[in-house]
Structure 1
Amino acid sequence: MRTVTHSFLQSRWLWLLARVLLAVVFVSSGLAKLIDFQGGIAEMQHAGLSPAWLFNIATIVTLLGGSALLLADKALWLGAGILAFFLILSIIIVHHFWMLPAERAMPALYIALEHMSVIGGLLAASIASHQRKIYANAIQG
């Protein structure tokens, strides 16, 4: 049983699936802002960001660029860091539950908590990527 579990956890397809699932939220948001550029601009305006078009472009580049690094497992730590920083900024700028009226505070708190959980997943992916590379080097060398 231990060998089966080890093989399963070391499999390339499971590692790819984990990265794809972690990136889904970022890729879908980045593509939505790219495909519906005006909708992305409206979202930035609603958040009070100006110039909205520039923030929309920066968001698209951040989400898709960070996701590409995550999916390719090339400098995954950098992609995860970029995406985690984006999530932290979005909590501070958009989902600042501590500053909102009660009726808007709870939904913003839940989104902030979800963002923190995803940041944990990004940290775990960075650690896993690093450990997988150490393991692969140990086997080869």
Structure 2
Amino acid sequence: MIDHFSSSRHRGSLFARIITAPATRFVALLALCAAYIQGPLTKLFDFQGAIAEMNHFGLHPAAFFAVAVIAFELVASAMVVSGILRWAGALALAGFTLFATLIALRFWELPPGMDRMMATNAFFEHLGLAGAFIIVATIDLTKGAGK
């Protein structure tokens, strides 16, 4: 007869090893930063589009803000993924996300309907991202980046 408890402990142990593996952590941090890597790369390859985006949100001089956002997102993402001052990069991305969310996703100003619902969902998803970055910073500060 199969011992159910030892079998489930073994699976839990394997699951725990997979979840806590350095490769899993790396992939999870990369996924968390994916939008902050993809966005600036898109802006680099379509710099006129990046300038148009800054103008759309009233950020002037637009070219300066486009370059600043590109550099900021790439550097902060690299910090989070690499572990070099991970807590600082994570807190910077949390603050940036909150600030950008308040500028770009002002759902309360939209009339009821699909656009408002989509902006509301995106607003709260971005709050979740900011919260995740704060959790990353907390873990990094309390346990150390290499642990």
Q: What is the TM-score when the length of structure 2 is the normalising length?
A: 0.81
The verdict on how the C-alpha distance between 1:51 and 1:113 changes in structure 2, with shifts beyond 3 A counting, is: same
| Alignment partner, residue 123 of structure 1 | 134
Amino acid at match of 2:137: S
Q: Aligned pair in 2 of structure 1 residues 20, 90: CA closer, same or farther (>3 Å)?
A: same
- How many pairs does the alignment contain? 136
CA positional deviation for 1:28: 0.1
Cα-to-partner distance string for 1:1-60 (whole Å, 9 max, x where unaligned): 243233223311111111111111110001111221111001111112211111111111
C-alpha separation in 2, matches of 1:64 and 1:81? 14
Residue 102 of structure 1 aligns to a residue whose secondary structure is: coil
Which residues of structure 1 form unaligned runs of 5+?
A: 137-141
Give the alignment's TM-score, normalised by structure 1.
Answer: 0.84
Give the secondary-structure state (helix, strand or coil) at the position aligned to 2:75. Answer: helix
Greater C-alpha Rg: 2
Name the counterpart of 1:92: 102
Distance 1:134 1:108 in 2: 35
Shift of 1:86: 1.1
**Matches of 1:22 and 1:85, distance apart in 2:** 15
Task: Determine the C-alpha separation between the residues in 1 that align with 2:57 and 2:41.
Answer: 19
Distance, in Å, in 2 between the alignment partners of 1:84 and 1:134 is: 18
Cross-structure match for 1:70: 80
Aligned to 1:21: 31
Point out where structure 2 has 5 or more consecutive residues left out of the alignment. 1-9
Percentage of identical aligned residues:
29
Query: What amino acid sits opposite 1:124 in the alignment?
Result: I
Kindly report which structure 2 residues correspond to 1:2-81, keeping only aligned pairs within 5 A, or say none. Answer: 2-81=12-91
Residues 134, 72 of structure 1: alpha-carbon distance in 2 compared, 3 angstrom cutoff: closer
RMSD after superposition: 2.0
